[in-house]
Structure formats: C-alpha cells, structure tokens
Structure 1
Amino acid sequence: MFRFNTYLTKMIVFTIGVSTLPIIMLGLFFYMKTSETIQDKVNAGNVLILEQTRLRVEQILTVLDLQIERLSDSSYVTEALDTGIVPSQFILVQNLLSSMSRVQTFDVGVQDIHLINLKQGWILNSGGLNPVAALESTLSRYLHINRDKFWIAENGSLLRPGNTENNTTIKLIKKIPAFSEDPDGLFIAEIPGKQLRSYLSAHNTLGEVMILDESYRILASQNDNKLLDPQMLDTLIAKLHQSNEASGLYETNYGKKQVGVAFQRSSFNGWIYISVIPIELIRLESRKTGWIILATCVIMLLLAVVISLAGSQRMYAPVQRLYQSLFTNQDKERKRIDEFHMINEGFIRMRNVQVQMADQIKNHMRQLEEYYVLKLVRGDIKPSEMNEKLGQLDANSKKWKRMGVLTIKIDTLKGTRYSESDSELLLFAISNMVGELIPAHNRLMPIVVQSSQVTLIFDDPKSTEEFRTYMYAMAKKVQDEVGNYLSLRISIGISRSYAGLHDANRAYKEAMDALKYRVLFGQQTILHIDDVQPAQNVTTEYPKELERQIFDAIKMAEREKIQCLLDSFFEEISGQYHNYNDYQIAVTRFFVNLIRLLQESGVSHLELLGGDPPLMEQLHALSSVEDARNWFKSQIIEPVVSVYEDQRRTKYQTISQEVVHMIHDRYDTDISLEACSNMLNYHPSYISKVLRQELGISFSDYLMQYRLNKAKEMLEDTEMKISEIAEKLRYNNSQNFIRSFRKLAGMTPGTYRAEFIERQYRARKF
C-alpha cells in the first residue's frame, strides 16, 4: 500500500519541482516574449500608420501652399495690389477669380480663397469685391503674427464666422510681399475642418488618430473622439506639453485604462499627429497565444507529475526496507518523521552523549584538581600522599625544582563599573586569565580561596633569584592584563621559593602576609614577602601628641585643623610601622581612643556610628593608608565633631544669654568683662570669643550700645539733667557722656531731647 510519509513527500515534491519548474519557466518565457513581440509589432504598425497619415496630410497641404505661393507671385495679384481694382478693370478681376478658382480643387477641398488689399481696404473672393472694415480686428491679429505664412484654426470662415467647434476652419495665411514688415495684402485659403478629417485613413481600426495644432487644439480626429473622454485628452495633452521631442512612443494610465500613445510633430506647420491605442487591444492577441501556451504547459505538467510519483515510489522502496529493518513500530509511527532524519538523530544523540561524558570527565578532573590544590595550600595533604596526588595533578611534576605561590586581591571596586556583588565573579574571571597567561606546565590549577586568587607556580631555574624574577614577571603580566581587560586595580603577593610541595601551605601564608602590606605601600602593587617583612624589629613610638591635638581640634570643631593633623598622624604611623601587625595595632588604638572620646561626650557610639558590617570589620578590610585616613574622617571623626559642635553651640548660647542678662540688670553699675567671667567661672578671653561668635559684637561695645539706648529713654521719658543721666550711666563726667552719645547717635543729648519734644508737639498739633 502506498504510504505518504515525510521523506517520500520530499522526494515527490523535489522531483515534481525539478521536472515542472523548467516547463513553467519556459511557458512564462515564451508568453512574455510573444506578448512583447506582439506589442512591439503593434506599436511599430501604429507609428507607421501615423507616419503615413502625416505624410498624406502634409502632401495635400504642401500642394495648396505651392499654389498659393505661385498665385501670390502672379502679375494679376501684383497689379491688383499696386493699382487697385476699379470698375473698368473687370478683365483683371475675372483673371484673378479664375486663378483663385483653379486653386479650389476637389482633392484639396479648399472652401474659399480671399485676396485682401490692406492699403485700399478691400477683399476679393468668390463672393465678389467687398470692404474689409468689419475684419480689421481679425486682420490686425494676423499681421501681428511674426511669420510670412502660417496655418491657423478658427471657428467659421472669414466672412461667415461661427460659434461652435464643429464649424472649425483651417486657414493658410500668406503675407504679400513676403518678409515685409508692412505687407500690402494677404492671401487666405480656407479648408473646412471636415475636409481635414477626410485626409485621415479610414482603415485604421486599432486605435484613434488625431491632429492637433500648435496650441494643442484638436483639428481633426479619425472617429470624432469617441474612444477617448475629455479628461483623458487633457492628460495626453499635458504630457505633450512636457515633452519637447519631435516624435515619441509611451504608455500612460488614466484611471483603470492603459493606453499606448505615439506622436509626431510636423516641421511643416507645427501640427502634432497623435495615435492612441488601448493596451487592452494590443494584449488581446497576446492572450490568445497565452491560452495556447498554458494548455501545452498543463499537459506537460500532468505528465511530469505522473512520472515523478512513479519514480519517487520506486526510489523510496530500498530506503523503506532499510528503515523497517532498523526501527521498531513505535519509532516508525512517531510523528511520521522521515527515515533519514531519524537515523541522523540517532547519530547525533550518540555524539552528544559522548561529548557530555567527555565534558563531565573534564569537569570532574578540574574539580578534582581544584580540590587537591585547595587541600595542598591549606596543608591538609599528608606527605605520604603528595607524590600520588601530584602525579594525578600533572604528568610533568617530576621536572619541577622550585615552587612559589602568587596570591591576588582586588584593591577596590569603587570608581569602577562593578558592584560589590560582582567580586566573586571577578575573582573567577581573574583566575581564568591567570590560567591563560601562565603556561600550564609551569603551574597548578588556579583557585579562589577566601576572596583571594591563589596560583602555585613551578619552574626549573638556575638560581633562586632567577625564579624570583620569573614569578615577578608573571605577576606583572597578570596585573597589566587585568587592568587592560577588566579595568581593575589588583595587588599581588609573592612567597619565597621552596623545593617541594610540602611547603605549599607555608608559601601560601607568606603570599597572603605580603598582601597585607598593601595598606602601607598603596594599591596596585606587587609585594614579595622578603621586601615587606624587615629582617629585624624596629622600635616605634605611637604619636600621642598628634592624637591629643586631633582630639582637641575635634572638641573645638576645627575641621581644617583636623584634616591637617589627621594627614600628619597617618604619615607618622605609615612611616614608622613597617610591620603590618604593628600598623594594625596603631590604627586600632586610634580607633578605640576615638570611641572613648565619643563616649565622654555623653553619646553612645552604637547610637551614632552603628552600621553593618561592624566598624572594626570595616577598619580591617581597608586596603591602603589613604582609605584608612578617609574612613576615619568620614565614618568616625565627622560624626564626633558634629556632636561636639552641637554641644558647643548650645553652651555658647547659654553663656551669651547670661552675659546679656547681667548687662541689662547692672548697666548702671561698674560692670566689666572680668566681673562677668568671674561670676560665670570662665576666662575673660573665652567669654569675649563666645560673644563675638554668638552676638557678633564685643562686650564693651554691647554695654555702650545698651547704655545709649537707656540714655535715649531717659531723655524722652524723664526731665533728668544731662549730668544726672551721665552719672547714672557711670560716666566720669558729663563731657565724656556727651562725646560718647554724639559718636553713637550723631548728635548731642540736648539736641536729641529738643528734636524729640518738637516731634511730640507736631504730632499733637496735627
């Protein structure tokens, strides 16, 4: 039984496509070429008909033009224009009329010929001799046309004007003499518009032929414009306006209609000959040919389909038997997938399983190596197990002569594009970069241990110094690459070199100890343990005096002084303490003393400085002296200064209020700054400083100002004498009081009292 599955369907579709596509393409090609040929032939025939029509019309008009030319050169016309026509010259008139009648032949179709004498104002035609007074405007328009002779189309005859387009008359106007700016006469030959239509071919059934004058006015058409409506005619005329070519052939659309247009411009009289053919008529013959081609292609397609089906089934039979022998019925029914696809899937599954197993083994080996390295640096591997584990880690382990450890820490993530949550990921990225930068045969697996990256490096150097140089070069290479690619600042600690892996734990501790000294040496450094640990202990002294000055400045809230003293303090301890432990003890002592100072102010440090993580952990996590100095200033000193500043401000306000109260109560006594300071138990200079800071004025100036105000009150409210007021305010004599009053008030006490009384009088009067 025929079974229509996916692979067989593909074979059938492919064979049918291969066999039928050429047939379809060939049919389309023949149809397009045939249609194009037919259209080209029709267009060529259309142009030929238009050419023949133009030549036939121009031949007839040329004959008329030559006859008028000969007639204008005859002696009869010359005599009539020069001497005029009088009743005695009837023979001349007969000769003129006879010559003019011979021009009016049947084949040309001339309706009438007019001879006009512009000087004497008469017109001679078949109707006789008449005056031209009624034609002056028309003749003036003809004379203004700057040509010797020309063709023009107008409604009606010269002597019988009309008002409809059906009464169109074609006129040939000849000026006599030629090329004269002031001609003596005119010859006008008139042809009816109907006669011009008879010149067109009546056997052209394919389209419409029209004649237009220079003003794009229709002079004649083959079928009275029944084929084209006025709007389409306007469209065609607009296209002719845009073209300056003598002839052409183009296609255009008007609504749903598509037409082919051929045109020619006559060099004889400037007329335009147009032939318009609907494209539908051109394509009619193409459709007939297309149906024949389509029928042929359908028959060939059916034959190709039958052959494709039979051939595909025959070609599929071996594949079907192979498939049935390889897969179970359940597999064969699964989603009707084609057989080759299922076979390919089987191979892909096998390959994926192999790749997964290889990746798992590789990952397990990596994890095992990381585990062994971690145990090695921690010192958890026994000496008896070392050779066995070392052989599992690297086959080249027996070639190693010297061993050392590099440890890497990230200095800071501030000012970078990373956050603290990215630190672990960055350490693993650094570990991968170390694995790429240091050759695999010179290292063990790089690992991450407690926020540090650790690498065991091996080599076979000629000397210990050479191995130290090699380790420094590797560290510098890693530091530069991390800075370039990750934009991170890292510090690297280097241990001493050892002869075997049993010293790996000691080397790891030395490298970590070396990293601790980045606090003293700054960030982005490479530190070898021999360079940072001094050979002998150095006696150091804690800078107690600087600490005391810092605490005094904190109590006085002198921020600028605090900054300078803090810089000096850290320069002192970083210059003295070359041992990291001594440095940590010094900064911890400074931290504890600051907390004690805060507690002395009466504020709990947990209330003011509480945070997560604890302050001590934050302090020990700092990686440089600069970071420690900035941390102390922002996290500890600034809050403590704010507390003392608030307390000091409150205290200042209380002292200033007490002094002001004393002045107000005892202004009429011998009160002084020393007396107030004794009563308040403060030094006079301290009282003076508080008053200047709180009131912005000295003690003596405030006392003098207050006594002046009291003097003004006494001058206004009492009748006390000047001397009595001076005595009450504790002046030695009245002259001193007057000078002091004038200095502060700008006038003497007497003048002040007089002006006050005058103001009172004026106020009562008004």
Structure 2
Amino acid sequence: MKKLHQRYVSRRKGSFFKKSFVMILLIACIPGLLTGAGVYLFSAAKIEKELQHLHENQVKRQISQIDDKLEGLEIMLSQLAYDPRLMNGLADADLQTDFQTTYKLSKSLFLLQDQNPLIHKVELFIQGKEPILLNPEYSGLTDRKILKAYHSLLEGGQNVYWKDMSGASSGMALVHKIPGGILEPFGALILTLDERELGRLLESLSPYSKGTALLFHHNQKPVSWSNRGKTNFESALKERLEKQKNPQGSFVMDWSGGAYSVSYGRMDRLNQEWTYVSASPMSAITAPVLFLSKLIASVSIAGIVLAFILAWYASHKIYSPVARLIKLCSGEGKAAYFPDEFHWLEKRWEDLSEESGRLKKELPHAANVFFQRLLSGYFADESERNLRDRLKRWGWEAKDNVFTIIDVQLTGLYEGNGSFTKKDESLAGFLLGNITRELAGRTFNHIYMTDVRSLSLAVLLASGRNTAFKEEIAQFVRELTDVIYSISKLHVTVTVSNTADKLKDIPGIYEEVKEGRHYRQFENASQVIDLSRREDMPPAESYYPFALEKEVVRALRLEERDEVERRIRLFIRELSEKGKTEIRIQPGMMQLFAKIQEEIFHSGLHPNELFRRKNLLQELSELREPERAVGWMMERCISPYLKEMEGRKNRQQKRLVEQVLEMIHQDYMNDISLESCADRAGTNSYTLSKAFKQVTGINFIDYVTRLRIEKAKELLLETNKKIHDVSEEVGYRHSYFNRIFKKQVGIPPSRYRQIHQESS
C-alpha cells in the first residue's frame, strides 16, 4: 500500500508544471484565438454587413425590375388605348353586328395578353345601351353586380390607374379609360395581372426559403405576396411596417425564435404609392459567414487540440529537469509531492545548505575524532589499505607518504621574563596553536594538530619519500622557535619522532614522542629533541637532595609558609641542576610530594579530603618549568595544608574561650581572675589571654567588668535593693562599685536609678 501511495504521489505535479503547461498552451493557442477572433470580429462582421448591404441592393434591383415591368404594362396599355385605328368610331360601332371591328379588337387584346407573362387577361368594356365586354372574346353583361363593378371603373377623374379587381374579376388590374384624354369615356381597357406570375416575381425579392415578400397598394391592401404560407408572419410584418415612419429603409424583426432582415420602400404607380416589403432570415443571409466561422472554429479547435498535445509534450520536456532535481533532492531516489516545486526546492535548498553548514562545522570535529583515534591506536585491526582510503576521504594523499609526529611545548611562562604572565596561559596556548598551524601549513602539504593542553601540542606531518623531509622539519622547527620567541619571549621545546612508512605505525611513534619529550633539559631554554638520535644522548646521573627534603618537612611542621617556599625552591633548583632532564627530575618532585603527603597524614589530615579528590600526580607530571613547579607545590599542596592547620587552631581557641565565658557568667559575682579560669580550663594564663582577645575582641578584665555593670543596671532598674546590696551582688565593694559604675556609665548608680524612675 505504501509503494502504491508513493507511486501515485510521484506522478502528481506541482504548480510549476501546471503553470508552464498553461503558459505554453496559451502561447500556442493565442495566435489562433486572436486570428479566429479577428476574422470573426472584423472580417465576419464586415462580411455580414456587406451581405446585408448586397441583400438590400438586390431588393432594390428586383424592385426596379418589377417597376420596369409594370411600367411596360402601363405603356403597352396606353398605346392600345390611343391607337386610332382601333378606337376611332368605337363609341358608335355596333360590335354585335360589326364582326370585323370586333375581330380586330379581340385580336389586339389577344396579342397584348400574350406579350407579357404578367398579364393574366386583357378586357375591353364598352358602356352603351347594351354594355359589351371583350375578354378578349365578345360577351354580354347581364349580371347587374358585375355590370355595376365595370361601370365603377369609368368613375373618377383619373384616366389611367391601378385598381384592385378582386371583387369583380381577380387580382390587381390596370384600368385605362377610352378614349383617352376626354371627360366622358365610353369604355375602359382593363389589364389584369397574373397573381401567380407576380408572386414568383416577388419571390426574387426574398430568394430564401424561409423569407417572404409583399407588395401593397396605396390603400394598404396587398397587391401580391410570395406564396409561402406565412400568413401570420406577413400580418405581423404588415403591423410592424405600419409603425415605420421613414418611407424606406430596413430593420431587423424577431419572429419565432429567428431574426429577419426586413427591407421596405415605396414606388410610384400612376400617382399611387405602392409599398414593397422583403423579409429574409438573417441565418440565410449570413450562412456564408456562419460557414466561414464554423470553419475557422473547427480549424481553431483542431489547432487547440494540437496545441494541447504539443504543450503537454513540451511541458513534460521542460519539467523533466525539475522532476529529476526534485527526485534527487527528495533523497533515496523517491519523488515527492508539493504544491509549488520551486518553493519546495528553495526550502529544500535552504535545508540542505543548513545541513551542509552543520556538516562543515562538524567536519573539523569529525576529522579531529578520526585523527585522535588514529593516534591512539583505535584502528589497530584495520588494514593499511583501508586506513589509507579513509585518510584520503579527509583530503590526505596517503600513497607513497611517510609520517612524522612533532611535539611542541611552550616554556618560560611562569618565569615572568616574557610578554605573558602566568595569568595569560590560555592566551599563550592560543598563540602557540595559531603560529604552529600557520607555519606547518605553509611548509607541509598535510598536517593534523592536536588541541593545546598544558601549553603543549602534537603535529602529525605527511610528506613524500624524499630526503628533504627532514630538512623541511628542521627548517620548520627553527622558524617556529624564532617566531614564538620574537613575539612572546617564550621558549619552545620540540620533540621530533622517527618517521613511519605505515599508518598503523603512527600510534607507536605517537607514544614514542610523548615519552621522548621528557628528555628535555629542565630549564627555561628552547630545545630540540630528535628521537632518531636518541642513542647519541648521554645518560643522565641519578640524584636526589635528601637534606633539602628534610628542611622542607621541618619548615612545614613549624607552619612557616615563607620558609617552606624558600626550601622548595632550593630543592627544585638543585634537582634541576643535577638531574638535568625532565625524565630524571619528575620522579624527584614526586618523591618530595610523597613526603609532604606523609607529613599531612601525621598531622591527622587525609590528602584526599584536603586536596578535594584532585589528581595532583597527573598535574605534577605535566610541570615543565622550575618556577612553575614551585608555584604549583605552594598553591596546590602547602597552602591548603597550612590553611587547614590554621583553621584547626582557631576552632580549639574558640572552644576554650566558650568554656571560659560560661565560667564567667556563672561566677561573675565572686572573686574571679584570669589565672583561676586558666587553671580550671587546663591551660596557662598567656594562652587563655591571647585566645580570649582573638575570639571576643576584648581582654579578660574588660569583659568581666562589662558583664558586672550590665547586671548592676538590671538590679537598679528592676529591684528596690540598696546600692550597697547591688554592689555586693555583682562582686564589688560599695566604694569601688560607685567609682567603676560612674567610669563605665558616666553617672553614679543613684543618679542612674533616679533618671530612669522619673522617665518611667
């Protein structure tokens, strides 16, 4: 389950992938979207507007053609009406009997009717005693209603006009009175339009299947309309048209969920205004634009799909380095999930930087631990190859190298001749470490330096197998000695070990150099101890100043501090002069320390408690200078002992004085003296007097006098005893009591009692 969760989580992307994907997708799609939007907003709109304009022009052209055709009919009918060959004498002719004239008229009417498909029929009405109608054949009129309709055509003052004949015959008719130009016509030529042909002609105004076209007479009656079965729509269109104020124009009308482009206008027909209306669906007009828009939309969608695929591919390619970086930073090769990759990487980078900083800080400590273990022989079971590999990790090139250890000791600090005093031990150690590190790092490729302890340190050096290594060491030792002495006026003792070819031999030469440094001369001077030449060193003679040891012990018994210090200084000086080397002097100082401890045991004290369980032998073994050894003996051994002995005497004196004070408080009214108290306490009067003064701060007689006066004051104030009786109770004679009381208090006893009684 955990693996499935990790696999699922690793596939999830953060905000960077999403943002980059969206950005690439937008970059890929924006040109197409802008192109499509531009085509739609500019080209499509312009095309749509242009198509509407073309539609309006088409309507105008079709209306012009219809107007021309109707005008042609008017001209043709006028020509027939003014034809003298047919119209002269027609009023007096008897068409029932004059077959030739009737034939000519019928023939002319037939010819006119066949000339134009708009003509449904042409009729000739002659009013007379017996009304005659040629349509175009001869027929008589007997129906009064029909006859009345034809008679009405001759009424009015207009010679030629259009009239709706749907009541008499059918359709719209052009009426021309005959003969033309007279006030009392006797007949009329009637040209009836073919409604079907006129309807087809009107359909040209709206060539779309869902459109319609209307033609209205001046009395708002329809002359004709396209036969498309849209009566409700045409009625609504007529109502909307009646609301228009302009004689011509266009507007958009909504009907049944669709929009229609409506164009309307006027045309003059023989002093009559006819109104034409063309309504075409917008969808039909803009069909090319819609097709173009759909085509553009389809291409855009295809482009978006392609852009989506390419953006997805490009995003994965762009994201792959980030994913690898995240996978590496996640640790253990596992991916991680987070909302924002770069925020996580930034935080991870900060964590890694912080961790790296901690490792860098701990790196010297880790290296120090490794080299300390190497020096102490911790890797004795390791192979030489493994040790060299581990050493290489710390930046050391261990191949074909030899190793040497140098021990450096700083001396002369406690002599008081240099720039430092004994209080500046830490500062002197800091100076030793810095100068040694700087000079060694400048001379050798690889160095390791231990911490400074007791003004001493060890340096592990590595160099190639060449004879110049010893010369480099000698040059380094000389330079180190000169630099330290020039700065601090302190001396340096340098102990150089033998060289080691193997890393496993380093613990041996380290122990060797620690032991070899004790061969230094126990004096304040710079020295070099080359352990490779130890056979050349002369053997030191064994010597110990027993007489001075006895003098030190005797002065210690007498608790004479200054004398003890002087004798110890003489002891160490003589031991240094005769013993020469440190390895010979150290046992002598330890022997003196043992004698001092023996004297401490004899005094009834235990060294472990006196020295507070400190390892003084370890401290003694680290002493390098005679003056330092004297100071250490006095500070760590003699001073605590003398202080403890002094305290012990003070405690005995205090117990003695407390015992005597108790005697005084019990027998102050009797004859008491210093000698009697000393006898009772088991001591002499001199010792008691000295101890009494040290503990109480006053001598014995003054203390007894003060106590007796205080007791007398109490008796004077608290009792009514006579002054004579009071003096006897505190151990005085009456005459002496008055004198001593006045001396101590300033007034006689009687006056003292009187003053206090008056105040109370």
Does the pair score TM above 0.5? no
Structure showing greater Rg: 2
TM-score by length of 2: 0.36
